Amino acid sequence: MGGPEPGSATASTDRRPWAGRRIVLGVTGGIAAYKVVQLARDLTRMGATVDVVPTRSARRFVGDISFEGVTGRPVRWDILESGRALDHIRLAREADLVCVAPATADFLARGAHGRADDLLSALLLATRAPVLLAPAMNDAMWEHPATQANVARLVELGYYLVGPAEGPLAYGEGAGAGRMEQPDVLLQHIGRALVGETRYSGRRVVVTAGPTREPVDPVRYLSNRSSGRMGFALAAAAWRRSAEVDLVAGPTVLEPPHGPRVHQVETGAEMKSAVRRLLADAELLIMAAAPADFRPAEVATLKIKKEAAPDVLSLEPAPDILRDTIPDRRTGSVVVGFALEMEEGEGNALRKLESKELDLVVLNRTGPRSGFDTETNEVTLLDRDGEAEPLPLLSKDEVAERILDRIERLMPFPDE
Ligand code: CTP
């Protein structure tokens, strides 16, 4: 059923924070119900055990078999099913999280009033797990004061509301606020709710990712093969740990993750000024980007003709962002850099730790499965005490989690 191939580098990793968790996925009767098959599938692929609980009207939108096909588990919906009368209590007790997507206006009303006339609403009352609701409805219904009052009550009751998003509504209804958040966005919010409070909660974190592009002329640039994947994984993982994340991203083909505030930049100079500005409030900087080390000394205003090219391209150093922003760092902030090395790894990485005044350096080996533009990475973490922690080949998502675990030990508590 999808997921990593057995024996692949990612098969042994945790797929945190979803793997091994029990999730009740409530589905109510809105057209967005068809998208929730994808969410059920994604959660299952991330290693969660997913029990789908549709309402009676949801079952008219999507058949039970679709959910059973992607979760490998029976769909539950009948509160009075013989022999299963205590299902709602058991499911509610065992769940690590309950997510209702889509949550219709009617379901929000019933949730706000504590109704318990079907399995899903009863479950909501019986659970002590975090509850995440993803509303979806017509925009006028969403804006109606009755719905807004119900939403306010649900927030008061401690439920997390995700969305609705702006966008195209049902056929013929145009666009507006009322669309269910996309399954990949819900997956991230579920991850964040599963993680809960951490040492990162509410702390300002700046992560850089991707390459920079240094223009040569109006149609050409110098760059490198960085995909941005490692920095995106770090930003996403820090956001799931409830940090306030600013992600400064160079140009990449990958979509930046949902959650962090994204600052798109192109050149090293732009990345430097974004980092400098954000550092004023940051408690942690993770410099996972691969900014260019050189740039053309002059940018041609017209496209360089091929006959002229060999003579015009002279290079100068591009800004070293980590080094240049040393004076902008807050006292007590933690700074983490990467060192991409092909040879003399540890020596070079430790030199960068010193010269760029880092607290931790992530030594990144380049190879077919590690380094730039790969799904996996093999890194060693080196700190100021010279302690080296080599990690095995892991998915970049898991490498990000391990780096954050390690940084957590370096971060002072606010009252320390
Ligand atoms: N870095 C930076 N600005 C640059 C180049 C690199 O801030 N112009 C940061 C990277 O984000 C990384 C660290 O510095 O966190 C080390 O990057 P790396 O490319 O390994 O080293 P360089 O300093 O570029 O040195 P060299 O190319 O000689 O290995």
Q: How far is the CA of 285 from the centre of ligand 1 (A)?
A: 14
Could you read off the pLDDT of 310-337 as tens digits, one per residue?
Answer: 677 899 999 999 999 999 999 999 999 9
Q: 256 Cβ partners below 8 Å, 6+ apart?
A: 209, 228, 232, 235, 247, 249, 262
Could you check whether 9-195 and 204-408 share the same CATH topology? yes
Q: How far is the CA of 79 from the centre of ligand 1 (A)?
A: 60
pLDDT the model gives residue 13 = 55
Kind of pairing between the strands at 244-249 and 261-264: parallel
| Burial of residue 199 (number of CB atoms within 10 Å: 0-12, 13-18, 19+) | middle
Percentage of the chain exceeding pLDDT 70: 95
Residues forming a β-bridge with 131 = 98
Of the residues 213, 326, 340, which should be mutated to test ligand 1's pocket, given the most ligand atoms within 8 Å of the CB? 340
Of the residues 352, 359, 360, 403, which should be mutated to test ligand 1's pocket, given the most ligand atoms within 8 Å of the CB? 352
Q: How far is the CA of 320 from the centre of ligand 1 (A)?
A: 7
Give the architecture (CATH level 2) of 204-408. Answer: 3-Layer(aba) Sandwich (3.40)
pLDDT the model gives residue 291 = 98
Computed from CA positions of residues 216, 271, 285, 262, in that sequence, does the dihedral angle turn out positive or negative?
negative
- Return the residue matching tokens 């390459």: 211
Active site residues: 224
Burial call 286-315: b when 16+ CB within 10 Å, e when fewer: bbbbbbbeebbeeebeeebeeeeeeeebee
Q: How far is the CA of 291 from the centre of ligand 1 (A)?
A: 7
pLDDT the model gives residue 5 = 42
Residues touching ligand 1 (Cβ under 6 Å) are 268, 287, 289, 291, 293, 318, 320-322, 337-340, 352, 356
pTM: 0.94
- Domain ranges, ordered by start, for the chain: 9-195, 204-408
Burial call 348-368: b when 16+ CB within 10 Å, e when fewer: bbbebbeebebbbbbbbbeee
Mean pLDDT along residues 260-264: 98
- Protein residue with its CA nearest to atom 3 in ligand 1: 320
What's phi and psi for 53, nearest 5 deg? Answer: -125, 95
Could you read off the pLDDT of 238-259 as tens digits, one per residue?
Answer: 999 999 999 999 999 999 999 9
pLDDT the model gives residue 48 = 98
Of the residues 293, 334, 341, 360, which should be mutated to test ligand 1's pocket, given the most ligand atoms within 8 Å of the CB? 293
Q: How far is the CA of 129 from the centre of ligand 1 (A)?
A: 44
Mean pLDDT along residues 94-115: 98
- Protein residue with its CA nearest to atom 18 in ligand 1: 339
Closest ligand 1 atom to 321 CA:
7
- Protein residue with its CA nearest to atom 8 in ligand 1: 320
Closest CA to 131 of 104, 109, 103, 152: 103
CATH topology (fold) of 9-195 = Rossmann fold (3.40.50)
Mean pLDDT along residues 223-248: 97
- Residue 414's pLDDT band (cuts 50, 70, 90): low
